[in-house]
Amino acid sequence: MSEEYKVEEGLYYTKEHEWARKLDDGLVEVGVDDYAQSQLHEIVYVELPEVGAEVKQLEAIGALESVKAVSDFYCPVGGEVVEVNEALLDSPELINNDPYGEGWIARIKPSQLEEDLANLMDAEAYREYLKTL
C-alpha cells in the first residue's frame, strides 16, 4: 500500500476501520478513520444510529454512503447510544475533512468497556494492520 493514512494515537481501532476514544466523562466517542474516509472518498450521506439504542460491540448501527458505495458502520464498543453527531446529516463531508474530530459519529455509554477494548487494536497495532491491506 503506497498511500499514507493518518492513525491517531490514543484511540482503539477495529479491522473495519472504526475508532473509539475514551472521554473524560466515561463515555466513548466513535467514528471512522482516515483509511475508511479515504476509501469511500466523497461521503454524501450518513445514516446515524438512534439515541437510546442498545448496541453490541461490532454491531452495524449506521451507514456511510459515497456516490458509488454503501459502507456499514460497526460500533467499536457495546453500550447505549447517548448522542449522535447530527451535524453529519447536513454536512457528511465532515468525515472526509476531519475523521477523528468533527467527523465523530456517536457517543456511547459503554456496558463492558475493558472487555471490548481488549478486542480492538491500539494505534501501533493498527498501523501494522494497515500495512497488510
Partner 1 sequence: MSVEDLKKTHLYQYHSEHGKVIEFAGFAMPVWYEGIIAEHMAVREGCGIFDTCHMGRTWVKGPDAGRFLNYLVTNDVSRLGDGESLYTVMCNPSGGIIDDLIVYRFGEDRYWVVYNASNREKDFKWFKKNCKDFDVRLEDVSDEVAMMAVQGPKAQEVLQGLTETDLSQVGRFNIVRLKVAGVEAMAARTGYTGEDGFEVFIPGTTPSEPDKALRVWNALLEAGATPCGLGARDSLRLEAGLWLYGNDMDESTNPLEAGLGWTVKLKKPGYFIGMKAIQQAKESGVKKRLVGLALEERGIPRHGYPVANEEGEEIGVVTSGGLSPILGKGIALAYVPTAYRKRGTPLQVIIRGRPVKGKVVKHRPFYDETKYGWKRSLQ
Q: Is 70 in the site for partner 1 (CB under 8 A)?
A: yes
CA 75 to chain centroid, in Å, comes to 7
Instruction: Give the residue with the Cβ less far from partner 1, 40 or 117.
Output: 40
User: Smallest distance, Å, CB 129 to partner 1?
Assistant: 20
Q: Is 15 helix (H, G, I), strand (E, B) or coil?
A: coil
Q: Is 47 in the site for partner 1 (CB under 8 A)?
A: yes
Of the listed pieces 7-15, 51-59, 61-69, 100-108, which binds partner 1 according to CB under 8 A?
Answer: 61-69
Complete edge-to-edge strand list for the sheet that includes strand 54-55:
12-13, 18-22, 28-32, 106-110, 79-84, 54-55
Contact by Cβ (8 Å): 81, 52: yes
Report the interface residues with partner 1, using CB under 8 A: 41-42, 44-45, 47, 63, 65-68, 70, 89
